[in-house]
Amino acid sequence: MQNINEPENHHSKPRRKFRVSRLIGFDAWLDSSFYNLRYFLSESWENITIFFRRFRVRGFRRFLIEIFSECATWGTVGAVIMLALALPAFEETKKDWRAQDNYAVTFLDRNGNEIGQRGILHREAVPIDELPDHVMKAVLGTEDRRFFEHFGIDLWGLSRALSQNVQANGVVQGGSTITQQLAKNLFLTNERTIERKINEAFLALWLEANLSKKEILQLYLDRAYMGGGTFGIAAASEFYFGKNIKDVNLAEAAMLAGLFKAPAKFAPHVNLPAARARASVVLSNMIDSGMMSEGQIMAAKRNPASVIDRAKSESPDYFLDWAFDEVKRVTQNMPQHSLIVRTTLDRGIQNAAEEAIEFHLRQFGADYKVTEAATVVLDNDGGVRAIVGGRDYGESQFNRATSASRQTGSSFKPYVFAAAMEKGMTPETIVSDAPVAWGNWAPRNYGRSFSGRVNLTTALVKSLNSVPVRLAKDHLTTAPIVALVKAIGVQSPVSSHKTMVLGTSGMTVMEQAMGFNVFANGGMAGTQHGFTQITTTDGRIIWDINRDGEKPHRVLSEKAAVDMNSMLVQVPEWGTARRASLAMTRVAGKTGTTQSYRDAWFVGYTGNFTAAVWFGNDNFSPMNNLTGGILPAMTWQRMMNYAHQNIELKPIFGIKNPFPAKPKNAPDAQISSHEDSQVQRPTLLTPQMTRFLQKLHDDFLNAPALPDGSAPKKLSLL
């Protein structure tokens, strides 16, 4: 009997059989489909294999194919990598790089004497077709003999240069083409890095693809720096010979062509013998390249070119470049572009700054493994008295004083302490110099030791690391420090990361001078300026600092400024900057040294001047244990000794005693010989003269023995 609780299901078996049969059919279809697909793929692969067997090579040909394949693979990988590196450089091509400034600006120093020009010297171009034949041959025979044959990169010329350099065991010949040099002049800097060379090569190819050979050569002749503040071969002809480029003779053309290699080294108004020696090399190159015969150039070798007698002092080119950009910024909306600008430059201080940098790099550069330096000197009213943007403008026009952002190290600490003063702390506030940890960051002092409880003055004078970290961590945070630095006028990015309190953010030398000038000015910012008046050529004033200049504004209270000055004035007296002290007036300032000795700073001020000095290397390579208290402080002292001669000495803001304390137990009427020597006006030589004297000294030391084998006799000067 059927259970009454079970539902009736008369059709269950037929339905189940139907579903099973459908599943079996689907499974059979699936199996056959996979089988057919596998068969089709196998047959296709067999056909492909049979087809490609006809291309199979064996033996030596296979070896060559394998090598070619590997080269193609790695060549593609290398090309992709280099293209990735070059992409930032191609961004420069989006700008209007063809345009030249229509400015013609004559610059005067603070006393009204002309110091140089900018703008017009870039534009006095002469078409290629109108240039004398010997001018073109002199340039091409020396700079790029195969210019009209290569595609922007001369592989044959590069291999020849490498061979010559290997044989000479040094760099005696360059492999860059004119196109590569133009790419560097238009888009890149002179820094010697692999990345720059890669970018230079790609941009050279880009120029070749977008310009004709004649256009490339025209731009090269018009844009190259030729020494003496001139840009372009036509302007150089006017500057050195007082004649149009169309009228120069063969000897003069050779001298001009020789300037492309090293315009500062071979500038004839600075070193005429070197310029003539270089011109002789150019004439020989014209013979070697087959462009002229020996008979054609003999007269030029026998009668070398002479130049116009110009002032011995060189143009302050780094200052002029910076001032030119500032003038364009101020007058960009004005219709008048032929201008006369009265600047704040002091030629004496400018020469002293150049000499101080050259002196210390020449004397100590090799020992400390440092190759570059820069400085900015401000009057305490904000006027820029001097800018040195590098050791040699002819070698590199990159302005390290206004364009290079470098880590500041401990020279950043005064901004941290200033923010603490604003919050109510004083120089006598006691803090703990003990191990401190901020998250996973635990900085240590330079000497790896701690002093316990100290006041803020001692912490700043001894440049203790733990104290500014503790101030920011426990009392300030980094926000007010960043706000203070930005209020001063610093344009470089300043990180708000905790490590910024020890100077991990970058600043320019100009920004450092501006920052410390705020302390010297009692907390006022916005005073920095490079010129006081701009007039048209007919004498009409279109800009005056008293009428149109930025108005000073307070960024630090007077009390905080006085407190900072009372601490910073002790750094050169018993702290890390004793080499920066002056005999005639008190000095306030701070040293700075970055990680691995990549940057060394001293930024200091008196009641009259503020100056920042930086030493380092363009490739960021470490120096040999160079700290801010050594060469930067010594350089600062040397140029400030000059700057403070024959002027009214002013006290530092808020400092009651403006003069250094006399040595203990010294009679009032006596001054030590060391102090007396510091007060005397130092004798200054131009950087070019010091280099010439050093070369002359080396030549004497390396002079060959006399024919009889005896040593040269000593000469006495009567």
Instruction: Please write the tens of the pLDDT for every residue from 607-638.
Output: 999 999 999 999 999 999 999 999 999 999 99
From 569, 575, 588, select the one nearest 636 (Cα to Cα).
588
Q: Are 118 and 105 in contact (CB under 8 A)?
A: yes
User: How much is the pLDDT for 124?
Assistant: 54
User: How much is the pLDDT for 16?
Assistant: 65
Residue 450 and residue 430: Cα distance in Å, rounded? 14
Distances in whole angstroms, Cα of residue 637 to Cα of each of 225, 379, 633: 33, 16, 6
User: How much is the pLDDT for 621?
Assistant: 95
Instruction: Please write the tens of the pLDDT for every residue from 200-253.
Output: 888 888 889 888 999 999 989 988 888 877 788 888 898 899 888 999 999 999
Amino acid, res. 59 = G
> Residue 297, Cβ neighbours under 10 Å: how many?
23
Give the pLDDT band of residue 79 (cuts 50, 70, 90): confident
Instruction: Please write the tens of the pLDDT for every residue from 421-443.
Output: 999 999 999 999 899 999 889 88
DSSP letters for 656-717: S--SPPPPTT--TT---HHHHHHHSPPP---HHHHHHHHHHHHHHHTPPPPTTSPPPPPP--
User: How much is the pLDDT for 671?
Assistant: 29
Q: Are 553 and 524 in contact (CB under 8 A)?
A: yes
Least confident stretch, 297-301, 318-322, 654-658, 700-704: 700-704
Instruction: Please write the tens of the pLDDT for every residue from 167-204.
Output: 656 544 556 889 988 888 887 776 667 777 778 888 88
Quote the DSSP letter at residue 438: B
User: How much is the pLDDT for 686?
Assistant: 55
User: How much is the pLDDT for 364?
Assistant: 96
**Buried b or exposed e, range 224-238, using 16+ CB within 10 angstroms:** bbbbbbbbbbbbbbb
From 489, 562, 565, 493, select the one nearest 527 (Cα to Cα).
489
pLDDT above 70 for 166: no
**Buried b or exposed e, range 597-621, using 16+ CB within 10 angstroms:** bbbbbbbbbbbbbbbbbbbbebeee
pLDDT above 60 for 122: no
Least confident stretch, 24-28, 364-368, 505-509: 24-28
Residue 137 and residue 472: Cα distance in Å, rounded? 65
Question: For the chain, how many helices (H) and strands (E)?
Answer: 24, 16
Instruction: Please write the tens of the pLDDT for every residue from 382-425.
Output: 999 999 999 988 788 899 999 999 999 999 999 999 999 999 99
Residue 705 and residue 707: Cα distance in Å, rounded? 7
Residue 603 and residue 412: Cα distance in Å, rounded? 10
From 296, 251, 287, select the one nearest 272 (Cα to Cα).
251
Helix (H/G/I), strand (E/B), else coil: 606: coil
User: How much is the pLDDT for 579?
Assistant: 96
Q: Are 177 and 150 in contact (CB under 8 A)?
A: yes
Share the mean pLDDT of the chain.
84
Number of Cα atoms under 13 Å in the Cβ half of residue 154: 22
Beta strands of 65-186 (E only): which ranges?
104-108, 114-118
From 496, 709, 671, 460, select the one nearest 576 (Cα to Cα).
460
From 448, 90, 135, select the one nearest 292 (Cα to Cα).
135
Helices within 169-212 (DSSP H only): 178-187, 194-210
Give the pLDDT band of residue 18 (cuts 50, 70, 90): low
For the chain, give the number of residues.
718
User: How much is the pLDDT for 518?
Assistant: 97
Burial label for 688, CB within 10 Å (0-12, 13-18, 19+), is buried
Instruction: Please write the tens of the pLDDT for every residue from 533-587.
Output: 999 988 899 999 999 999 999 999 999 999 999 999 999 999 999 999 999 999 9
pLDDT above 60 for 343: yes
**Buried b or exposed e, range 156-177, using 16+ CB within 10 angstroms:** ebbeebeeeeeeeeeeeebbbb
Give the pLDDT band of residue 594 (cuts 50, 70, 90): very high
Query: Which H or E run includes 377?
Result: strand 372-379
Q: What is the dihedral of CA 115, 118, 123, 128, to 10 degrees?
A: 60
Structure tokens at 44: 């296709």
